[in-house]
């Protein structure tokens, strides 16, 4: 039995989920209870919208 053969699909699935969450900074920070990180992630999402609205 090849242990890596059994574990690799699970690891690849987990990495895919992590990468998908990392695309959206607010979603990726939801598991971390840190107000400063929420603020920064929220600004990353909001500032581009404000810039477009100002144009």
Q: What angle do CA 13, 11, 5 make, to 5 degrees?
A: 110
Judge whether residue 3 has pLDDT over 60: no
Q: Read off the DSSP letter of residue 55.
A: -
Q: How confident is the model at residue 53 (pLDDT cuts 50, 70, 90)?
A: confident
pLDDT in the model for residue 52: 73
pLDDT in the model for residue 1: 47
Residue-wise pLDDT for 9-49, tens only, equals 555 555 555 555 555 666 665 656 666 666 666 666 666 67
pLDDT in the model for residue 7: 54
């Amino acid at each position: 039995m090849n242990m890596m053969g059994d574990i690799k699909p699970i690891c690849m699935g987990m990495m895919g989920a992590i990468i998908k969450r990392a695309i959206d900074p607010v979603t990726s920070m939801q598991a971390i209870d840190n107000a400063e990180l929420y603020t920064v992630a929220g600004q990353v999402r909001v500032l581009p919208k404000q810039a477009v609205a100002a144009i």
